[in-house]
Chains A and B, each alone.
Chain A
């Protein structure tokens, strides 16, 4: 995995406190893994709230889930899986020193992420239109359960936090695109692409959990 530069040589991208490019790469990657652990714990708090409320009110979750559009949720799942693939291809392109392909693959990733957000936008506005707001602003009367508002609080919080992560991902990957376009990345140095890829996979995986937990309840 690591890009092997000869030990001891100090390429321009290596910061002063690292011995070698390899050490810098390993360090950055390890740092990202540790960061992802904190991300999982952060979403874990919300998943814990979800599990507890689902255990208390299983019938609520079945009822309220019907208000969510499985088709568009499913499309979004495919979109994100696709973007995970393209980000992996961007890394592969970097390893193969195909500088142009890095830009193209990152571009497709950003485009797919935007598609995801647009679909999400339509899902949200449709619900707002019905009066399905989080918490105390909830006015929808189509679900016969006193705690329906809590289901949608969880839904908005979890998909919202995920959406924020997607947005951050769009910003970072766009920035990487610019850098890739300027030729900053090659098989010797592509650490930012690699670790952003890791981040993006996590964002994808979280959605793969969110989708069945909210949309696919029978």
Chain B
């Protein structure tokens, strides 16, 4: 092993290459055993996996609810379930998918697992808080499920007053569930921000931060700033129901439109909580599978932050027909267009990264291509909705339903699956069946389009959302959509099948099956118990494919507690020149 010594008038640090072990005997999965070791773990990787299991469960529940909705809509009349059941189903579908799946998905699963490793840290800043946020999530989920048996909720996931404050059922329990889950989200965001600021390994400057971390950083900012407002909003709603505080209920002198302002102040940024980490995943994957430096690193990194900040100022575009002032609508519309620009910039940057690359169509990249198409469709239809005159016609129709499914499922779920397929070998040390994976990706893509493209047409024709029955002219579209939803469902089941069977494989794929330069691929797969047995030292950016692999596997020779004195060191491009600023 080559060791080298920096010589200058600053203090010296010796680095050496740490080549990852091919078939590690000990790793985080077997370092401790037994159910209790999992339930009480503070290891960010294990917490990530526990989230993965919980989220998969809720995704399946939400998906089954969606299928029930689609079956009911096969024909205009009531033939499968009653109107009240239907109304509860779409409410639950929305609430579960948003609060229990989409919002936590990428940060809590992939972020938890990958972020500390990408930063060269042994864990997140507050490991116990991380575990606590998982249990808070579970508690919130239980509250939400309790709401179902406690009379059900049929308000829609938006809980608009005065409907939500005037009807019976489990609305109070559900809002308290959302309140609790919000804290889980806040704590995860808080943990990530502090981790990114304080836990970076020597050499990881802001300019060398992986774009996935940038995405999570922007997301976390939104989480900590917007979620408390949601918390207070649902708390006010619960108070409205429990003791009639009258702030939102017109019967007691309140203002229902005020509720909408409060709600969307969180819930619009929440859209970016759901999608921005997806941008990070896409950036990582595009670079890895084209073996090429990311085009416009700073443009991608900063546009995430720009989206996060402008995203706070556009909530009123959900309320163009609510009766808010025209001037307010104008400002919100204008800002909404502005938020579209940084999103478009990203898309062009990714395309430019592929230009002259060395492109390998492995499963993660296929999912990313699916993301490109679906998210672009979601984005441009967002532009249509941002235009006030068009929104007046399209608001609360299936056009909106299709739009946000393209963004949330087409964008976010595709990005999540891309990330899961990309990091799966790091999580478990095994490779899934790539042929089946490509078939599943294709099924999901086709199924998704068959489900949701007809909904754009229906919506433009005037089919309102949240309709249990409908007039006959829409039936062909609804039927195509229902067929599509089953293709989509089969696709997801196939993913679960080959992912689970891959776990039975004995053969390790090695530490770096994709040939990536990123730090998480320079440690063994599955990852070691404490991520690194040395202090990693970073000299190049994570996408510098023109530099030899050996340069990306450097670490301190001497270390204390797995780390060394070089924290915060200034590191020059030459791997052997390490200077610390003591």
**Which residues on A are within 8 Å of B, measured CB to CB?**
7-10, 15-17, 19-20, 23, 26-27, 30-31, 34-35, 37-39, 41-46, 48-49, 52-53, 133-137, 146-147, 149-150, 153-154, 157
Contacts and interface: CB of A to CB of B under 8 A. Distances in A.
Contact of A45 (B127, B193, B229, B562): B229
Given A16-B530, A19-B567, A150 B254 contact: yes
B121 interface: yes
B501 interface: no
Contact of A42 (B228, B247, B530): B228
Nearest to B223: A38
A31 B253 contact: no
Interface string B231-242: 111001001100
A27 B196 CA distance: 10
Given A10-B561, A30-B194, A34-B194, A135 B228 contact: no
B236 A49 contact: yes
A55 to B, nearest CB: 12
A26 B567 CA distance: 13
Nearest to A57: B253
A150 B125 contact: no
Nearest to A27: B198
B564 interface: yes
B462 interface: no
Contacts of B227: 38
B123 interface: yes
B573 to A, nearest CB: 24
Contact of A38 (B127, B190, B191, B262): B190
Chain B interface residue number, banded: 35 or more
B244 interface: yes
Given A8-B560, A45-B262, 14 more contacts: A16-B530, A16-B561, A16-B562, A31-B126, A34-B190, A39-B228, A41-B226, A42-B228, A45-B236, A48-B262, A136-B244, A147-B253, A150-B252, A153-B246
A20 B240 CA distance: 49
Interface of B: 121-123, 125-127, 186, 190-191, 193-194, 197-199, 224-229, 231-233, 236, 239-240, 243-247, 252-254, 258, 262, 530, 535, 560-565, 567
Contacts of A136: 243-246, 252
A154 B248 CA distance: 12
B122 A8 contact: no
B283 to A, nearest CB: 25
A23 B232 CA distance: 33
A164 B561 CA distance: 40
18 contacts: A10-B560, A16-B122, A16-B562, A23-B198, A27-B198, A30-B197, A30-B198, A38-B224, A39-B228, A42-B229, A134-B239, A135-B246, A136-B246, A137-B244, A149-B246, A153-B245, A154-B247, A157-B245
